């Protein structure tokens, strides 16, 4: 059979394409593997290692939205809010349906003081994923900070309808109920939080506050003690334990706790 020049050209083109496609796919797979490695490193506390993995993933695949989103999380954790915003913006540009990127950008806007922008992003995240517990929880925190306690409570209720085992949401809803004066409801929520996460410092402090309000001082101090065992830098627990110790007549212990609270968080004065 005659080997026509046009046929030889076509065969060469097919061969070239067959060589290029596996290389592209390999790069794509490598970028995905780097993202997974970065997730694992961040989970294990290796923030810089995770950042290096995300940077490399973006080099290999500049259109991999999750790599920008995850790198944004690292930047936010490092306090580099402008860099985090840039990464979340790029992630949303590449994947406009990423509920996670909207939620994370909303949190960064909150950190930067853009409360309205944060609420808008959380709302969009919920539109994209109506089962996003994190988006409901984070929107509730912003609503509560603005004094919209009813709106915050509604969001926490929705989050717990989706995930009835979320200790974080139970704790946060407990805080809102306390602000609303529903001490029994708050106490129940802190207990639920501890049922699902027994080593969670914040619910011990919240429950201790209610015991303190009710005059159950010894039990309140026990809760504050446990909270501080779990988080030795929890300033509010030191302040609350200081109040309880003062009422118990332990003035020296109360003074020491109060000084520790102010050293950790001068705004508690």
Check: CB of residue 26 under 8 Å from CB of residue 17.
no
**Dihedral of alpha carbons 73, 76, 81, 82, sign:** negative
CA distance 194 to 205: 11
CA distance 150 to 124: 20
Mean pLDDT for the chain overall: 91
Give CA torsion, residues 15, 18, 23, 25, to 10 deg.
170
Q: What is the pLDDT of residues 183-239, one digit of tens each?
A: 999 999 999 999 999 999 999 999 999 999 999 999 999 999 999 999 999 999 999
Strands (E), 16-169: none
Predicted confidence at residue 5, as pLDDT, reads: 46
Answer yes or no: pTM beyond 0.95: no
User: What percentage of the chain reaches a pLDDT higher than 90?
Assistant: 88
* Whether residue 7 has pLDDT greater than 90: no
CA distance 104 to 117: 12
- Read off the tokens for 259: 């000084």
* DSSP state, residue 268: G
User: What percentage of the chain reaches a pLDDT higher than 70?
Assistant: 89
> Using a CB cutoff of 8 Å and minimum separation of 24, what contacts does 23-30 make?
27/60, 27/61, 28/60, 28/61, 30/57, 30/60
CATH class of 35-96: mainly alpha
Contacts of 157 (CB under 8 A, 6+ apart): 173
* Whether residue 127 has pLDDT greater than 70: yes
How far does CA 206 lie from the centroid of its chain?
Answer: 20
Predicted confidence at residue 30, as pLDDT, reads: 86
CA distance 250 to 228: 18
The full set of domain ranges for the chain reads 35-96
Taking the alpha carbons at both ends of the chain, their separation in whole angstroms is: 94
């Amino acid at each position: 059979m005659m080997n026509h020049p046009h046929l030889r050209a076509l065969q060469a083109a097919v061969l070239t394409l067959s060589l290029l496609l596996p290389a592209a796919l390999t790069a794509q797979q490598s970028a995905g593997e780097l993202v997974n490695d970065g997730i694992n490193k961040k989970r294990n506390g290796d923030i810089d290692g995770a950042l290096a993995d995300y940077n490399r993933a973006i080099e290999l695949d500049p259109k991999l939205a999750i790599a920008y989103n995850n790198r944004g999380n690292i930047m936010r954790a490092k306090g580099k809010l402008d860099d985090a915003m840039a990464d979340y913006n790029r992630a949303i540009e590449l994947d406009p349906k990423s509920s996670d990127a909207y939620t994370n950008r909303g949190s960064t806007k909150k950190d930067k003081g853009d409360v309205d922008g944060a609420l808008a992003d959380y709302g969009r995240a919920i539109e994209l994923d109506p089962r996003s517990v994190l988006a409901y929880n984070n929107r509730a925190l912003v609503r509560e900070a603005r004094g919209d306690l009813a709106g915050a409570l509604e969001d926490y209720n929705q989050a717990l309808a989706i995930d009835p085992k979320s200790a974080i949401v139970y704790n946060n809803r407990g805080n809102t109920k306390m602000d609303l004066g529903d001490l029994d409801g708050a106490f129940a929520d802190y207990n639920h939080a501890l049922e699902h996460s027994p080593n969670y410092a914040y619910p011990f402090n919240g429950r201790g506050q209610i015991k303190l309000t009710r005059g159950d001082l010894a039990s309140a101090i026990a809760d504050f003690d446990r909270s501080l065992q779990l988080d030795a830098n929890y300033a509010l627990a030191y302040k609350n334990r200081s109040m309880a110790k003062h009422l118990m007549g332990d003035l020296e212990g109360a003074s020491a706790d109060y000084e520790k609270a102010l050293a950790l968080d001068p705004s508690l004065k």
